[in-house]
Amino acid sequence: MGRVSDADTVTGYRQQFYVCGSLSCVLHGPCDADTVTGYRQQFYVCGSLSCVLHGLCDADTVTGYRQQFCVRHRPFKLVADGDVIVVAIQYRLGTLGFLSTGDDTLPGNLGLWDQNLALRWVKDNIRAFGGDPEVVTLFGESAGSWTTGLQIVSPYSKGLFHRAILQSGSPQTSISYSTPAHVAFKELSRVLDCEAETDKKAVECLMTRSADDIVNKTNEWMASSGFTNSIGARVDGDFIPRDPVELTGDEQYVQEIGMGDIDVIIGFNNKEGAMITIASELEGSPMEGFSDAMMFTNILENAVKQYNNGQTSTLLNAVVDFFYRGADAGSNNSVPLDALVNLFGDTMFYAHTVEWLRPLAAQPHKGSRYLYMMEHDFHFNKNRVRGSHHGDELCLEFDLVFPADSLFIKLNKTLSHCSEEDEKMSDLFVKIWTDFAKTGNPNAPLQTALGGDWPEFTSENEAYLSLSLTPQVGRDVMRDRMALWLQLVPQIVSITQRQEEQPAPADSAKDEF
């Protein structure tokens, strides 16, 4: 069997094969018989904010909070067990990758262009590494997931990849959840002492600031809001021509860019929202000391703005509060842990995933559409919330390497802390993912555990795979919670807007008697 080229021996491309962060992309394909016999190919792009901005998780250059969230993802298991070649790229994320004035002064979306360039490089060069440029699978987790989704909907990515796996994020996630571009620009200009008469002058000032200052000040700005402030992608009329859900619902556009031909697996973990509680409990976290009630209020108000055109709404606040807290809504009573975890998970991950997947499945398509929910109870989760937290599944795919003072070390989120059950879950997970990358069909590894196939997500049958050591097929994932955000809240917004647009009734004539 042939051997994948060592990154240390590929002059000029070593950084292209270094993994650190959260977007993953996998390039896969049957090997060229003249190059590397027997290997398959996967392309992984990472994206933790700190790691990506600095390139390497070097203790001498990455300090403080940024280093504490830095992770290296070593894809040994994917390569050895999955018979694939893994390629990793780095791209700009956070402020350096997505800060924008909302116009051509600073267009933003630089991280997406970085990824796109890397995909083009792979298409032109991957045969030299044993890969097939005609069978490429792009996959990512968290920021890597929503940027993978944005590559799917962008006209600039047409033909660059053929399958995609989105772990905990959809293209709608960043567009909806991020602070409006110009608002974020003004705020960060202020905290970096770069307020100016014009945006152009502010940009010139920001360019004099060090990367360390920009990242540190961005982290402080995000943490001060309980992480409801954030920097992300924007609809720029170019790389992202329109809202991703709107683009995906446009049959002509979908056909023009070949979106319907892409095989897609998308999903999330069953306790994504637990990340917000962990952040407040760990010593050294910027959110240390935030109460559950404080975080619940911040997230609720931010979520309402997402669905109400950036505006606050007392009515929507009350409706959503009642949905999650029942009779305690509006009171100063403590917030139930499940309410906080579910609210954050619903508004950050779950609703946006289903919101985008529905039109994707409704359009004519040749590619497959699969939805999953990871429900494995990881051994290392010993805090208040059991289940699969945000990012937990990464330990199933990668050998994760953390700096000594990483917050993740305190969480025991490393392969060395995985139980025998976690290792079994890893074997199944890697087999499903790599089989999908190689064939477009994830079902062979599931025949024993599931006793059948994982049904596709369709408009008529919104099926999903409950992924654990005893997987099961479910229908209508989180049905009531999805109905709240994707039906009831939009209906209330629509009715309220119509009422506000109606002319006020004329004053009735005064009674002459």
Which residues are catalytically annotated?
A: 142, 272
Query: Which residues are CB-neighbours of 423 under 8 A, at least 6 positions away?
Result: none
For the four alpha carbons of 279, 281, 284 and 288, in that order, the dihedral sign comes to positive
b (16+ CB within 10 A) / e for 176-202 = bbbbebbebbebbbebbebeeeebeeb
Residue 8: CA count within 13 A, CB half-sphere: 0
Q: Rounded to an integer, what distance in angstroms lies between the CA atom of residue 87 and that of residue 5?
A: 11
Written as one letter, the residue type at 505 is P
Question: Cβ(397)–Cβ(430) under 8 Å?
Answer: yes
Q: Strands 463-467 and 472-475, how do they pair? A: antiparallel
The dihedrals phi and psi of 60, each to the nearest 5 degrees, come to -80, -20
Question: Cβ(198)–Cβ(44) under 8 Å?
Answer: no
Residues forming a β-bridge with 266: 166, 371
Question: Cβ(45)–Cβ(24) under 8 Å?
Answer: yes
Q: At what angle do helices 274-281 and 292-307 cross, to 10 degrees?
A: 140
CA end-to-end span of the chain, whole Å? 102
| Enclosing H/E stretch for 266 | strand 263-269
Q: Which two structure tokens, joined as six digits, stand for 82?
A: 């999955």
Question: Cβ(401)–Cβ(409) under 8 Å?
Answer: no
Written as one letter, the residue type at 285 is S
- Number of Cβ within a 10 Å radius of residue 1: 8
Q: Rounded to an integer, what distance in angstroms lies between the CA atom of residue 172 and that of residue 176?
A: 6
| Enclosing H/E stretch for 138 | strand 137-141
For the four alpha carbons of 360, 362, 368 and 371, in that order, the dihedral sign comes to positive
Question: Cβ(435)–Cβ(445) under 8 Å?
Answer: yes
Question: Cβ(126)–Cβ(87) under 8 Å?
Answer: yes
